[in-house]
Structure 1
């Protein structure tokens, strides 16, 4: 087993083995990697296939260097300290950590004072939000005035108006963890696009080949997301932005991320083939060149090589690419930001959260 999980040449350990050595559960290990508490090996240089559909491995699926495991295990509070930093608790346990009622904690969480780190749907299809125990404890130490007495008027008014920022705060944290896990500009753009409805993405990304590429690079769904049924639909509503100003923010972020990605490389399109760059032939010696010239004069005019096809310009920034239908010229950055400004909400207006448990 060790021979299969430990690479003796690079001294790295497979994620499953690393979690065992760090005495972490699967979800705890995944969260610790996403939070940057455990450094994994970088992705190898990805060589795209003919369609350009390469995908980096997420951080929690990359090997861990033996030196990193030794560093974590050498901590004086190992393993309790590492487990405590990634321990996630529900609203009831979090209220107990703060010595407040369940209702008071729910009000604080709904009004954005605490940000969930995970969620799952229980057997009754109710949303259960989980919070980092360390963050809950730190919040209590920094805000003792919110734990006793009457809540401030602003908090009471926002709660009475039905404000619930738990899903939005979770999406913001989820996106930051996704962006932390990759340096590829197209993968970062795909992470932003994963929080938007496909209609919103299509309005910002007018090139269908770019949309297909973003879809291939879409990050894996969050852990515990149901794969089908009514629970899946509820979870998808939580993953996608539903507030108008949140949608606007992600649309503008996607437009800017696409500009950065296009500056690095173009999105592939069907039929494109990436050929390795060939070194030019060395110049022949003078005597050999003269001999070839004499033979050419005797045999006839020299055969000229076929001209190289022109480089494929970026869609909308020059002549259309071979095999791709010509489209309208892509507007500049300011124009794309203006296009992102309308940001209409999904059908039916603002999505509701439905029933859920804190």
Structure 2
């Protein structure tokens, strides 16, 4: 992108920090709104990351109830406050979340390095208002659900990963970025099995997002966040492996991973450090298959 084009693009968009101020949001609220797809961003071609079009700020400011409605749409609550919203005991709320009926939107680690799951208040109100969910909020838990809990069911981390993958895919700007988004939920051993070529694997690693920041790199908190980010359910792993294999084929067909020129002695690790950045136009995704298709259909339905 030329300097004049870059300047024009910056004149019609702003940084996330400025956008948060313009919208009256704390930065954490703004980031969550972007995560949920409530605020549209565009790639920052000049410095990486994303920017917010000024037209998007105008659209949001023109909505009914702004800014309170926007703030309420991204308000999160923990288990205790969530249970109060649903008017159920904390233990029942936790059971519903473990069964995957309540999906966390983010998490943090408290000072004891325990995972604290956070939920959208608006989604909890919708869940409580649905008459079909009334039997789950009162009386005994159905036997088939009790048996799942007795067998150790806890879908909170898996459901968070699915939601986070949806966010990563919305932010992806090309085939290699989409492949990197899927790879972010698999451990390196799985990736090495699926992508044996070291240059392709190094290129893929460039676009593999890190887990949400929790503590200094290498700290126990950061390692725990990385474990939460990594799929551990066999069914989930199978879906992700199939989707990554397809995504890498699509990325390879669109633009093969760079390799050193003949005669140059360059390692894949060096390639990873110096590979050129992607400048790919987003493609229309396949909505029909695998975990990616399920996530996209889920987003479309607004679940």
Q: TM-score, normalised by structure 2?
A: 0.80
Runs of 4+ in 1 over 6 A off after TM superposition: 6-9
CA distance in 2 between counterparts of 1:240 and 1:145 reads 33
CA RMSD after TM alignment? 2.2
CA distance in 2 between counterparts of 1:22 and 1:225 reads 28
Q: Which has the higher helix share?
A: 2
Q: Tell me if 1:173 matches 2:163.
A: yes
CA distance in 2 between counterparts of 1:88 and 1:225 reads 21
Alignment CA distance shift 1:9-1:32 (3 Å):
closer
- Report Cα offsets for 1:64-117 as digits up to 9, x if no partner: 222211221122211111011111111111111100000000000001101111
CA distance in 2 between counterparts of 1:226 and 1:259 reads 35
> What's the secondary structure of 1:187's corresponding residue?
helix
Q: Which residue of 1 aligns with 2:100?
A: 112
Would you say the 8 A contact 1:196–1:241 is kept in 2? yes
Mark the structure with the bigger radius of gyration: 1
Would you say the 8 A contact 2:83–2:93 is kept in 1? yes
State the shift of 1:184 in Å.
0.6
Would you say the 8 A contact 1:226–1:235 is kept in 2? no
User: Which structure is higher in RCO with an 8 Å CA cutoff and minimum separation 6?
Assistant: 1
Q: How many residues align?
A: 258
State the shift of 1:57 in Å.
3.6
State the shift of 1:176 in Å.
1.0
The correspondence of residues 19-34 of structure 1 with structure 2, limited to 5 A, is 19-34=20-35
Q: Which residue of 1 aligns with 2:175?
A: 185
> What's the secondary structure of 2:108's corresponding residue?
strand
Structure 1: tracts of 5 or more residues without a match: 1-5, 47-55, 273-320, 326-358
Q: Which residue of 2 aligns with 1:91?
A: 79
- Report Cα offsets for 1:29-59 as digits up to 9, x if no partner: 1111122211123443x8xxxxxxxxx944x
Alignment CA distance shift 1:266-1:257 (3 Å):
same
The correspondence of residues 329-340 of structure 1 with structure 2, limited to 5 A, is none
Structure 2: tracts of 5 or more residues without a match: 1-6, 267-303
State the shift of 1:258 in Å.
0.6
CA distance in 1 between counterparts of 2:110 and 2:234 reads 29
Q: Tell me if 1:66 matches 2:54.
A: yes
Alignment CA distance shift 1:229-1:9 (3 Å):
closer
Q: Tell me if 1:129 matches 2:112.
A: no
